[in-house]
């Protein structure tokens, strides 16, 4: 067997080993990804950004965790801790929207499940108290100011993200590479927007951006749930 | 909130899921300070590093192969 063939065989063995690890740990990786996303939301919240929509989407995506017995006690504690951080930042009053109040009730539900897991270790908890989170109906922009405010918040989040992704980077292209990765791996819309802004900025300054445009389009398709091109 | 090592370990596993071994290795390196004594972590990290090294060697050999092909094409006409 030639050196090349030996290396190709070894490559196959190592890739297969790592694939099997991922398969074995699939549930765990999903949980870690969810906790990591929640951690990002908590970070944004502590940075002073509006997170009601993002936390609503997070609950909608991860509600099944409470009905299925896939979380460890330490996971529930970690999630409750992050939710408590977010809760302290949420400004929920009597005049808050039903969606925002629902978020509060969801946070309380997670906290109750934490207490339950500490006393009774049964998988079927909270079966009788099911809350379905739905995004509020899309409404035409009543006030132009609201859309401007939302855009302003998005820009601020992007700016904060740029600050984090440019640590130890020597060029904007490296920060762009990082934000495209974040958008792709974490399916993060803010990172996608930041990437698009950066690409357009670089284009205006004479950089060749075609490979990044291609990656941006692939990531956009990924976020929409389309299959990536082969 | 998650500490940087935990976050990096999580991102490394996600990158492995997407078969993005270079990114996985970068994140494993970032997470290393928090998981030095974790045998499982070290196994995944070293395996990923080894795989990248193997891929690098394969790329070098393939490049040499291509060079040889070019010479073979040029000589008959040269």
- Rounded to whole angstroms, how far apart are CA atoms A188 and A195? 11
- Rounded to whole angstroms, how far apart are CA atoms B66 and A220? 35
Q: Which of A187, A178, A179 is nearest to A222 (CA)?
A: A187
**A32 → chain B, closest CA residue:** B10
Point out the residue among A15, A33, A81 whose CB comes nearest to the CB of B10. Answer: A33
Only one residue has tokens 């990114």, namely B23
Distances (CA, A) of B65 to B2, B58, B68: 47, 10, 5
Point out the residues of chain B with pLDDT beneath 70. Answer: 1, 67-78
Determine the pLDDT at residue A16: 95
Instruction: Mark yes or no for CB contact B13/A11 under 8 Å.
Output: no
Instruction: Mark yes or no for CB contact B11/A15 under 8 Å.
Output: no
Secondary structure element (H or E) that encloses residue A214, with its range: helix A210-224
Only one residue has tokens 């809760």, namely A87
Determine the pLDDT at residue A71: 81
Point out the residue among A21, A33, A181 whose CB comes nearest to the CB of B23. Answer: A181
Best residue in B9, B11, B31 for a mutation probing chain A (most A CBs within 10 Å) = B11
B61 inside 8 A of chain A by CB: yes
Point out the residue among A3, A14, A185 whose CB comes nearest to the CB of B51. Answer: A14
In chain B, which residues have their Cβ closer than 8 Å to the Cβ of A17?
47
Rounded (10°) angle between helices A26-46 and A73-89: 20
Angle (CA) B14-B18-B24 rounded to 5° is 55
Alpha-carbon distance A4 to nearest alpha carbon in chain B (angstroms): 7
Neighbours of A35 (CB within 10 A): 20
Determine the pLDDT at residue B64: 81
- The answer to pTM > 0.90 is no
8 A C-beta contact, residue B51 and residue B38: no
Determine the pLDDT at residue A230: 42
Predicted confidence pLDDT, tens digits, chain A (230 residues): 788 899 999 999 999 999 999 999 888 888 888 988 898 888 888 877 778 788 888 888 887 777 777 788 788 888 888 888 888 777 667 677 777 777 788 888 777 776 666 554 444 444 444 555 555 555 555 555 677 877 888 888 888 888 877 777 778 888 898 888 888 888 888 889 999 999 998 888 888 888 899 999 998 888 887 655 54
Q: Which two tokens stand for residue B28?
A: 């494993």
Determine the pLDDT at residue A226: 64
Determine the pLDDT at residue A92: 67
Point out the residue among A25, A43, A186 whose CB comes nearest to the CB of B13. Answer: A25
**B10 → chain A, closest CA residue:** A32
Instruction: Mark yes or no for CB contact A8/B58 under 8 Å.
Output: yes
B8 inside 8 A of chain A by CB: no
Only one residue has tokens 């132009």, namely A144
Neighbours of B48 (CB within 10 A): 24
**A82 → chain B, closest CA residue:** B1
């Amino acid at each position: 067997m030639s050196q090349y063939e030996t290396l190709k065989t070894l490559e196959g063995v190592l890739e297969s080993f790592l694939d099997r690890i991922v398969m074995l740990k699939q549930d765990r990786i999903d949980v870690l990804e969810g906790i990591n996303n929640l951690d990002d939301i908590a970070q944004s919240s502590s940075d002073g950004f509006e997170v009601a929509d993002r936390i609503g989407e997070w609950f909608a995506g991860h509600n099944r965790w409470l009905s299925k017995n896939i979380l460890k006690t330490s996971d529930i504690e970690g999630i409750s801790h992050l939710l408590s951080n977010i809760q302290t930042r949420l400004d929920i009053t009597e005049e808050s929207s039903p969606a925002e109040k629902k978020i509060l009730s969801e946070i309380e539900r997670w906290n109750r499940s934490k207490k339950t897991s500490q006393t009774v270790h049964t998988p079927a908890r909270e079966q009788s108290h099911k809350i379905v989170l739905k995004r509020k109906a899309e409404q035409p922009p009543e006030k132009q100011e609201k859309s401007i405010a939302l855009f302003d918040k998005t820009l601020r989040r992007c700016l904060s993200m740029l600050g984090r992704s440019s640590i130890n980077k020597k060029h904007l292209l490296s920060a762009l590479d990082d934000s495209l990765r974040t958008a792709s791996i974490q399916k993060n819309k803010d990172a996608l927007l930041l990437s698009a802004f950066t690409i357009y900025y670089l284009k205006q300054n004479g950089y060749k951006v075609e490979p990044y445009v291609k990656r941006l389009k692939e990531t956009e398709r990924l976020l929409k749930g389309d299959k990536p091109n082969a | 909130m998650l500490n940087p090592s935990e976050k990096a370990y999580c991102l490394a596993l996600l990158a492995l899921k997407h078969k993005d071994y270079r990114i996985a290795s970068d994140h494993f390196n970032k997470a290393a300070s928090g998981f030095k004594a974790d045998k499982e972590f070290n196994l995944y990290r070293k395996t990923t590093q080894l795989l990248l090294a193997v891929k690098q060697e394969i790329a070098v050999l393939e490049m040499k192969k291509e060079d040889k092909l070019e010479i073979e094409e040029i000589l008959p006409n040269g």
